Structure 1
Amino acid sequence: MPLREHLTELRKRAFLIAAGLVVGALAGWLLYDPLLELLTRPLHLAASTQHKDIALNFTALGSPLDIRIKVSLFLAVLVTCPWWLYQVWAFITPGLTKHEKRYAYGFLASAVPLFLGGAALAWWVLPQAVDILASFVPDGTSQLVNAQDYLTFVMRLVLAFGVAFVLPVLLVVLNFAGIVRHETLARGWRWAVLLAFVFAAVMTPTPDALTMVLVAAPICVLYFAALGVAFWHDRRVERRT
């Protein structure tokens, strides 16, 4: 496909992703109050278990509106993940044969639960992280948490875990498109494991190593699963040629 057609296709897919996010953001705008309560629950749990006064603080006049827009877009990214993942795959799959596209659709079906599974894992880690960080507040004092900083931290954590779980599926699709071979993935496995543990260490600000291992292990397993699928695909292609 010529470069101009690639750019046209990219613009088309980006527009469709944006349109889907707008629709999802409208739902997020209407559900803002219960969604905000859900996102701030780890903060309230930490305050109640440690018997400390911890509350959100809106520091600027425009902060409530800005946060409402961000929270709405956050929900949009989650609920429309099948839509925007499909658009990403649709941009990649023109390079695949008709037979290989059927596999790509199967990988898309696995990418959605993986993204949501990564987001769920982040939500499991979040209360522990907030509780640990809140424990440093001295007794007899109050903590006003900047609402912008807290909610940005929560949303980035959830989305980062979701994307991390989808990356191995993207590697498989790139392998099917002939861009990445299994030898490349095999040579980079040490870096992949290292990056998985670095990601887990940064994203789980808890002092115990067990939580870091529990977060990094699924990412490593998914990488090696992608390597196995790429190896199978490359061998199959070699036998046909």
Structure 2
Amino acid sequence: MPRATKTSSRRHESAVALPKRAFAAPTASEKVLPGANPFATIAEPAPTKPAKVKEPVFYGSIAAGAAAHPYSRSHFRREKRKAKSAVALGGGLGSVALALGEVAGDEPVDKVEKGKAKSKKEVMEDVVRRREEEARRKAEEGKIGEGAGHGLKEKARRKQISANAQRIPAVMAHPAFKANPWATIREHASNSLAEAQAVKDVAERKKATAAQQERDKVRVPASMKGMEIE
């Protein structure tokens, strides 16, 4: 029987064939490195912005104090708005203040000396003088006067109405009333108010005099009564 031949060496399996490219580069490109050319210029770095230096916390307050004014921008904006509104309204309140000053300057003001207090008598004389001047001024203007500020009670009002009702026939029969009724009524009202004011002034004067006399009295202690003062 013939002997089987022995293979001297074993071979690996052949590699798989890769597909070829559909097209090839027309020319071979060569890449030149910067270091290969000694005459090549190295690109300069791009300029960078310098970092902003942070100011200390207290520098802002120092700068604000060194400024010409301590106000902020919002304050100036508010002031400008106020000025514009004042101009739109007719120049602000300057004209009103000027008019008030002119009116106040026409009226005389009583000057009181500092350090000198008026007595009760002088105060009452000033009150009477002012009332007389006011009555004289109203008489020149054609006014009768001012009321007391409060009316009569119901009982007093009924009594006054009944008394006036009894005098009405005599008043209507008076020749002056027949000639000019309104002038007669006006004169009667003026006389009545003047009489009432005079009575009130007399009562106030008596009251002020009594109060002054009470203050002028010297109160002697009980232990000194009966002692004669030389």
TM-score bracket relative to the smaller structure: under 0.3
**Structure index of larger Rg:** 2
Q: Which has a greater percent of helix?
A: 1
Q: TM-score, normalised by structure 1?
A: 0.20
Structure (1/2) with the larger strand percentage: 1
Q: Which has the higher contact order (CA 8 A, sep 6+)?
A: 1
